[in-house]
Chain A
Amino acid sequence: MRPLVLIAEDEPNIVESLTFLVERAGFAVVSVKDGATALQSIQNLRPALVVLDVMLPTVNGFEVLQAVKGTPDLKDIPILVLTARGQEVDRQRAESLGADAFITKPFSNRDVVQRVCELSGGAPEPERGDAR
């Protein structure tokens, strides 16, 4: 069974490109568009990794991060924080809230895939030429 990556991002085009990349790297992908749904899905699905954008509607990314890392049976789920706000203060805030990694937009596809593989505990067999 393919490990699950949850993508929490409200910009549809970014969701599409990330989904393509992460699926190609051998993962299953579920995507959500807001923080509240993200929290619910993490709780229900227990993904192998969460790619979390900071600027989410309803509940923002930092709040999601804080909630997940503060819940005993969820805190070990690795979280890769993705944001357009590249200021040092945001990086520090993410780190202090327990983010496992931090990537700023615009990102290189290679970087994202590499981090996803590293954080989720190893790349599964990459699938090529798989029509979807």
Chain B
Amino acid sequence: MRLRQRRRALGVTQAGLASRVGISASYLNLIEHGKREVGGSLLRRLAEALGTEVGALTGREEVVLVEELAEFVTDPVFGGLALEPADAQEIVARQPDWARAMIRLRRHYSAAARLAETLSQRLAHDATLVQASHELLTRLTTVRSFAEILREHEDVEPERRTRFIQQIAEEGARLGDVAKSVFERLSDFDESLRPSTPAEEVDDFLVGHAHHFPALEHAAEPFGERLRTTGSDYEGMLIERLVGRHGVRIGTIDDAAPWRPTFDPVARELRLPIGLAAESRRFELARLVFALEHGDVISAFAEDARLTTAAARERAREVLSNYGAGALLLPYEHFRSAAEAGRYDIERLCALFDASTEQVCHRLVTLRRPGAEGVPFAFLRVDPAGNISKRFGLPGLRLPRFGGVCPLWAVYRSFQSPGTILAQRVCLPDGREFLLVARAVLKPPRAFGAVSQTFSIMIACDAMDASSTVYGDAAAATPTLESGINCHLCPREHCAQRAFPQVLPGS
């Protein structure tokens, strides 16, 4: 907690601050040493008294840094060094910039290692390169063979000699063309040399904001409230807003293949794929309304120093527009109180708000308005291959970017019974317990034989909050799963589902 640091930097005594916010000095001392949690209005008063923001005090970024550093020392590249994960806390507290530097360096290294692996796979399997290398070798063979013949057989008759020389010239020219296309192909790979990917930067950015953007909530409020109170035809109202106020035309894409809506800002036409589910249509309309009306607010956020590339900023803008759509369709207080009253029953919330599982779960994660928080949830979205496409962790539940999570978790089991909500209680190696709630969702194909999209959406909360949810009891009916975050970090040697050996610190 940065509380103590800030207080001392301002030269304020414990007694002084404590009395300003209405608590005892000894209680403040416990808080400063992390022995008591603090939140809600007390946290706000403390922030105010110290002239700062709530976010600056909770130091959520520090928590993530500690966890990332602790995980980072288990990397096999440090084998032979006696690095203790427990020291991470101290390093972050004393030298946060060094900690950041180490993590950045590690990310570079991991990215480079991954790139090397990807490149070697691509080189081996890239159809263009395979074809090109075959061509190169064939041309070279001809050139070499003809040239050697001409050199070693002085008695080759003139017409044949001429023909051979001509072939050498032609093959040589084709060689040049093939070589050029190979180099072009190889230089495509250069794009992937970014050390910190846009996705990683946007994740950091979201964590820094604790996945809650008061400015966006505020911007969405007026129209969001109108939508809610005026009636049930959200789609009609959104279309009317787009057409009437923004001169946007709504068109359709009739093709089973592309599943992304497109917006042409010059022609001002939004094209939605035919067969898009109603909640997805509403979401896309709301997203465009928000982007058109609050583009300046979004762009201001996208200028964040954590976003160092155009690609990262673009991705951040997309994510923030999605946030805005969620804020419009699922207004904060209305959604939060419904969630709390319904004990975070996802299906009920989907029904109440006519929203998709992903929209509801994502909104649950953003319920972090100080003083009006919902239960803190982590979020994970995976595909059947285990690829993680969206994630947001919790303290003690850091979700990896690559390589998937524990194969026994509900987020994967849910694929076996699509549409059904699975609840599961897990116990991590450090003793912390979490409630996982997952549902596999399928976007049906829009023509026979067309590709459909399947994801599994998972939210997770600390086991302490399980009783606030309808899922707590269901999960308690089955034994708690002893697991790890993933095989690399899990010490449970005899797990039948183990996919990789554990990486031990210092080994």
Contacts and interface: CB of A to CB of B under 8 A. Distances in A.
Contacts of A85: 134
Interface string A81-114: 0001100000000000000000001111110000
A109 B160 CA distance: 17
Nearest to B124: A87
A107 B152 contact: no
B141 interface: yes
A14 B137 contact: no
Interface residues of A, number: 22
Given A84-B137, A84-B138, A24 B145 contact: no
B148 interface: yes
A16 B164 CA distance: 9
B interface majority secondary structure: helix
Contact of A17 (B133, B134, B146): B146
B125 to A, nearest CB: 13
B148 A84 contact: no
B134 A18 contact: no
Given A24-B153, A55-B134, A109-B149, A13 B171 contact: yes
Contacts of B138: 11, 14, 84, 105
B171 A108 contact: no
B152 A109 contact: yes
B144 interface: yes
A129 interface: yes
B299 to A, nearest CB: 51
Contacts of B134: 55, 84-85
A107 B141 contact: yes
Interface in A46-67: 55
Contacts of B146: 13, 17
Interface string B234-272: 000000000000000000000000000000000000000
Interface of A: 11, 13-14, 16-18, 20-21, 24, 55, 84-85, 105-110, 128-129, 131-132
26 contacts: A11-B142, A13-B146, A13-B171, A14-B141, A14-B142, A16-B167, A17-B145, A17-B146, A17-B149, A20-B153, A20-B156, A20-B160, A21-B145, A21-B149, A84-B134, A84-B141, A105-B137, A105-B140, A106-B137, A106-B143, A106-B145, A108-B144, A109-B145, A109-B149, A128-B155, A129-B155
